A and B are shown apart, each in its own frame.
Chain A
């Protein structure tokens, strides 16, 4: 690589890409996106087969778009009209694949220096030394990839990709196989690195925890199209579409119809279809001709063993416990109040309330925990 001088900060990755591809279900999708990724972390979020990897492949040059343009700052990587299509080795794009693809026959040090062939030995050692230090793997230089842990391999792969001083970093679910603590530490180091080297980082995940942990902005992709774009909070905490809602982890989604509107309170009343259960939800401008859904996170619902009083919450629903199931340290209760609600509790809550299947309970849902989706 010839990019031995650091580039001015704040370059944007812009991509208008059109490409037909086959999703994981086997059906044909067309990826059609137009996006600008600023320096810093941008999360690319979506179900499998939504086109996330295809998009990254197009930026890196592993796949050729059917049409469009891809550029980093002023540098055009691909332009179907002027027939520019830089080979991947000239793109200055670092792409960390899920499989990492460390070279098994080389040591960590040799792996990291692989992309620095154009430099002399002294510069190579300085550069790789810095980045090995940043990712805390200096002590491993003489080991082979098979002799280090999964988390260390991850760090080495990052070091190898970033030592070339790329202008864009693409990460395709790189941390899925790691435990939460290892993952968090690696992400901290990556963020620290990104503060010093302001380049766009496009990070693919379908783990919503990662979206909040990392993202300065998020893009939601669905069947090849951008469904939502904004801050992680905007995209996931106030989801406007049901697909995003499911991705964002709404365990409870109900078909509803609006039965009353209270502009003076900023709320409206929704009847859950097929029941006589009413929910008070935030007032939204909704299109009456389209089906309306309300999404509620299982962790946002309070559960009481006697009728609670004096609460600010406007939705107090009585029901019976259908089932209680423990998953890790969470108790998942299914409560029938007409429609069934999924509620997540702690082990302590189950014990102190002495919850049992068949027992009567009250669910408490704040108005603002009800998310209107259309």
Chain B
């Protein structure tokens, strides 16, 4: 039971982190360097999941993927089933829920890059694309990794969104946090305790690695080239 839930949770967390890497980095780049007047609106939307109760977010995702919206109908037509109460639905909900945890550290570290370095790159004939790959990304890498680790850990621990969007189907949508909830409902405190401990240790280890690496002179990842 716990192995199945744990595998599913880790699979979910890895997928969410991967998706957030792909959409979070460009979004963070835009937030860090855009001068659009309405940028603050995007910032507010990205940060919403931090303050919004997970049930509210989960409710909207559930409605959005249901048969009443174009998105829901499109997905149904494409795959023959609804996104609601599926693993894919969980991924969608979790991506939205963890978005600020990925984007904010990335945007902060991009914005902290000295503007003169970007000028220098352009003065040396580099395109924006090249400047991004050779200057912005390597120098912002600590923020990118922090964002990934945080969204991974955050996905491990989420509950409300998962319950609203995915329900509680073992093997398909039952994550560790939902399993604990189940076990407590069944008054099986001893099993709940073991399950909870696994999640606690997992999250603690992740964060300890994150902060430990940062303490040792930053992520010494410049050697990657």
Q: Tell me if B138 is interfacial: C-beta within 8 Å of chain A.
A: yes
A89 partner residues in chain B, CB cutoff 8 A: 122-127
Contact B139 A60 (CB under 8 A): no
The distance from the CB of A87 to the nearest CB of chain B, in whole angstroms, is 7
Interface size on A, residues (CB 8 A): 26
Instruction: Give 1 or 0 for each of A81-107: 1 = CB within 8 Å of chain B CB.
Output: 000000111100111010101111110
How far is A93 from B119 in the complex, measured between Cα atoms in Å?
12
Cross-chain contact of B114 among A60, A93, A101 (Cβ < 8 A): A101
Interface size on B, residues (CB 8 A): 19
Q: Tell me if B120 is interfacial: C-beta within 8 Å of chain A.
A: yes
Contact A164 B124 (CB under 8 A): yes
Q: Tell me if A277 is interfacial: C-beta within 8 Å of chain B.
A: no
Interface centre among A88, A89, A110 (most CB of B within 10 A): A89
How far is A106 from B126 in the complex, measured between Cα atoms in Å?
15
Contact A105 B127 (CB under 8 A): no
Interface centre among B121, B124, B126, B135 (most CB of A within 10 A): B124
A106 partner residues in chain B, CB cutoff 8 A: 225
Contact A103 B127 (CB under 8 A): no
A114 partner residues in chain B, CB cutoff 8 A: 121, 124, 126, 134
Tell me the chain B residues, 126-156 only, with Cβ under 8 Å from chain A.
126-127, 130, 134-135, 138-139
How far is A366 from B87 in the complex, measured between Cα atoms in Å?
94
The distance from the CB of B218 to the nearest CB of chain A, in whole angstroms, is 11
B225 partner residues in chain A, CB cutoff 8 A: 106, 110
Contact A101 B120 (CB under 8 A): yes
Report the nearest B residue to A115, measured CB to CB: B124
The distance from the CB of A154 to the nearest CB of chain B, in whole angstroms, is 14
Interface centre among A60, A117, A160 (most CB of B within 10 A): A117
Tell me the chain A residues, 104-133 only, with Cβ under 8 Å from chain B.
104-106, 110, 114-115, 117-118
Query: Which residues of A approach B to under 8 Å, CB–CB?
Result: 1, 60, 62, 87-90, 93-95, 97, 99, 101-106, 110, 114-115, 117-118, 160-161, 164
> Which 6 A-B pairs have CB atoms at the shortest separation, nearest pair first?
A115-B124, A101-B120, A1-B125, A101-B116, A105-B222, A89-B125
